[in-house]
Chain A
Amino acid sequence: MADFAQEIKRLSGVDVSKCFQCRKCSSGCPVVEHIDLPPARLIRGILAGRRDEALDSKTIWLCASCYTCSARCPNDIDFARVADALRTIAVRTGRAAAVPDVATLHKVFMDDIRRRGRVHEVTFISWLKLKTLNFFADMELGMAMFFKGKLPLLPKGVKDKKAIQAAFELEDSVAEKK
């Protein structure tokens, strides 16, 4: 097995060498028309050791983690977990994402958890707008939500902040220093 496939197996527990290219994953993928590499082709690339192709693909960011591929694979290859592993490698190694806004959303979301252990949607979306410089999207919707009382303004956090810190220290300990 190629080194890259080994690395994926170590991170995700998934053995992609069991793939026999039936493409059931690609046929059922709800975002297949928006991605550059359908799941089965991405797996083929992993087996051939094409690391950059996989890590620079749009697929890993536009995968919605719906698990349709994982549920239907005749060889029990959990591709959603493979996508998790690829995104995680990309984030840990500080690689530029092919769909930057998606990577930014994940970062901003995790930062919000890091702050108080829970996500506060108003804070999270404000940061997202700031980081993606997309101030005007969904303005009207946001106002409607506010007036309908769907947006509590005050964030609530967990009491035991140390436990949350410890969870993130586990993560930070494996990120590559840039």
Chain B
Amino acid sequence: MRTDYAYYPGCSLRGTGSEFAESMEAVFKHLGIKLEELPDWNCCGATSGHATAPRAALALDLRNLAQAAEMNKPVVVPCAACYHNMRAARLAVEKGDTELVKDALPLPAERLAAVEVVHPLEILATPETLALIKSKVVEPLAGFRAVSYYGCLLSRPAEAVKFDDTENPVLMDRLLRALGAEALDWSYKVDCCGGNLVLSAPSVAIDLISKILTGAEDAGANSVAVACPLCHANLDMRQFEASRRLRHKVEVPVFYFSELMAIAFDLPQAEKWLKKHITTPFPLIDAIFGMD
């Protein structure tokens, strides 16, 4: 098993998604896997980059990719949008499709194309790592009936991201089962949460968020596991508005998969991260583990 990786956190993980970053870093450390941050990374451009400024976006992504290439290690990218963009940039180099930046690459094409861009779930959900994870579980998550929500950018488009199955990914489900949780099947794994439309066309985004939360309820879930800071923001912070739209109260805690790992490993910092959630997960946790 590989134990050292380059690491690209991205802007959200250093801001509103700080609990994702901190829990990710802590569980990797707990598993003995080293993460070394890119020395001077920049924003990946998110959606706005490729949507309105494709030349700047590709140049920004190539700059990150080049830093990973210099480190000669695969790079771990936890944010789904960053992961998607970095993989797309790598593919553009591989296909020689870099006319947008006038073919001015920060490093020779073969070095850039050789960078392995991986999502943490692709490392964690291999049989080998799952066995290690099982051996570290001290508080099995029995009582967590969770649905895995992968969102859009982890699995689409398949040509660029090559993550698991496009319509029915299972890596997060495998991880949840290794932690002792029940991973429920449901139909909204890869549906869209609206992304940044929540800020610019909120009623459209609330519509999408409401459908996903209803799907979780219908599946009988008491928790949702996510792998993307924007998915977390939308599902965790908008339950009040979704409840109003749906005309009944929706209250289902949303966890980063790495937070669930931290709970199962009984890492003491977990409480600090969970306190940052807008939909409080503590009633569920207390009900499952008792008030200790």
Q: Kindly identify which residue among B42, B190, B192, B204 contacts A117, using a CB–CB cutoff of 8 Å.
A: B42
> Given contacts A110-B48, A118-B11, A148-B275, are A80 and B157 in contact (CB under 8 A)?
yes
Is the pair B195, A64 in contact by a Cβ cutoff of 8 Å?
Answer: yes
Q: Mark B46-63, 1 if CB is under 8 A from A, else 0.
A: 111111111110011001
Is the pair A113, B97 in contact by a Cβ cutoff of 8 Å?
Answer: no
Who on chain A is nearest to B278 by CB? A144
Q: Kindly identify which residue among A71, A119, A137 contacts B11, using a CB–CB cutoff of 8 Å.
A: A119
Asked whether A168 is an interface residue with its Cβ less than 8 Å from the other chain, the reply is yes
Q: Kindly identify which residue among B191, B197, B208, B278 contacts A145, using a CB–CB cutoff of 8 Å.
A: B278
Residues of A within 8 A of B55 (CB): 167, 170-171, 174
Q: Mark A147-168, 1 if CB is under 8 A from B, else 0.
A: 0111110001011100110111
**Chain A residues within CB distance 8 Å of chain B:** 11, 13, 30-31, 34, 61-62, 64-68, 70-71, 78, 80, 83-84, 87-88, 91, 99, 101-107, 109-110, 113, 117-122, 125, 128, 132, 137, 141, 144-145, 148-152, 156, 158-160, 163-164, 166-168, 170-171, 174
**Chain B residues within CB distance 8 Å of chain A:** 11-12, 14-16, 18, 40-43, 45-56, 59-60, 63, 97, 100-102, 152-153, 155-158, 166-167, 190-192, 194-197, 199-202, 204, 207-208, 237, 275-278
Who on chain A is nearest to B62 by CB? A167
The distance from the CB of A95 to the nearest CB of chain B, in whole angstroms, is: 12
Is the pair A118, B43 in contact by a Cβ cutoff of 8 Å?
Answer: yes
Bound-complex Cα distance A141 to B242 (A):
14
Known: A87-B51, A158-B41. 11 other contacts (CB 8 A): A30-B194, A31-B192, A62-B197, A71-B155, A83-B51, A84-B51, A87-B52, A121-B12, A149-B275, A152-B15, A160-B40
Bound-complex Cα distance A65 to B196 (A):
10
Residues of B within 8 A of A30 (CB): 191-192, 194, 208
Is the pair B43, A117 in contact by a Cβ cutoff of 8 Å?
Answer: yes
The distance from the CB of A124 to the nearest CB of chain B, in whole angstroms, is: 9
Q: Kindly identify which residue among A99, A110, A117 contacts B49, using a CB–CB cutoff of 8 Å.
A: A110
Bound-complex Cα distance A84 to B57 (A):
12
Residues of B within 8 A of A121 (CB): 11-12, 15-16
Residues of B within 8 A of A91 (CB): 52-53
21 contacts between A and B (CB under 8 A): A34-B207, A64-B192, A65-B47, A66-B153, A91-B53, A99-B201, A104-B200, A109-B46, A109-B48, A113-B60, A118-B41, A119-B43, A128-B199, A141-B237, A144-B278, A152-B15, A163-B42, A163-B63, A164-B60, A167-B59, A174-B55
Is the pair B40, A156 in contact by a Cβ cutoff of 8 Å?
Answer: no
Who on chain A is nearest to B212 by CB? A30
Most buried by A among B51, B59, B190, B278: B51
Who on chain B is nearest to A114 by CB? B56
Q: Kindly identify which residue among B43, B53, B59, B275 contacts A166, using a CB–CB cutoff of 8 Å.
A: B59
Bound-complex Cα distance A150 to B69 (A):
32
Bound-complex Cα distance A140 to B194 (A):
21
Q: Kindly identify which residue among B56, B191, B195, B201 contacts A171, using a CB–CB cutoff of 8 Å.
A: B56
> Given contacts A34-B207, A158-B42, A170-B102, are A84 and B59 in contact (CB under 8 A)?
no
Residues of A within 8 A of B16 (CB): 121, 145, 150-151
The distance from the CB of A178 to the nearest CB of chain B, in whole angstroms, is: 16
Residues of B within 8 A of A132 (CB): 200
Is the pair A34, B14 in contact by a Cβ cutoff of 8 Å?
Answer: no
Q: Kindly identify which residue among B97, B158, B200 contacts A101, using a CB–CB cutoff of 8 Å.
A: B200
Is the pair B197, A88 in contact by a Cβ cutoff of 8 Å?
Answer: no
Residues of B within 8 A of A113 (CB): 42-43, 45, 49, 56, 60
Is the pair B204, A62 in contact by a Cβ cutoff of 8 Å?
Answer: yes
Is the pair A65, B50 in contact by a Cβ cutoff of 8 Å?
Answer: yes
Bound-complex Cα distance A109 to B46 (A):
9
Is the pair B201, A159 in contact by a Cβ cutoff of 8 Å?
Answer: no
Bound-complex Cα distance A128 to B59 (A):
25
Is the pair B204, A168 in contact by a Cβ cutoff of 8 Å?
Answer: no
Who on chain B is nearest to A120 by CB? B15
Q: Kindly identify which residue among B11, B40, B166, B195 contacts A65, using a CB–CB cutoff of 8 Å.
A: B195
Bound-complex Cα distance A151 to B275 (A):
14
Is the pair B208, A31 in contact by a Cβ cutoff of 8 Å?
Answer: yes
Q: Kindly identify which residue among B153, B156, B191, B197 contacts A102, using a CB–CB cutoff of 8 Å.
A: B197
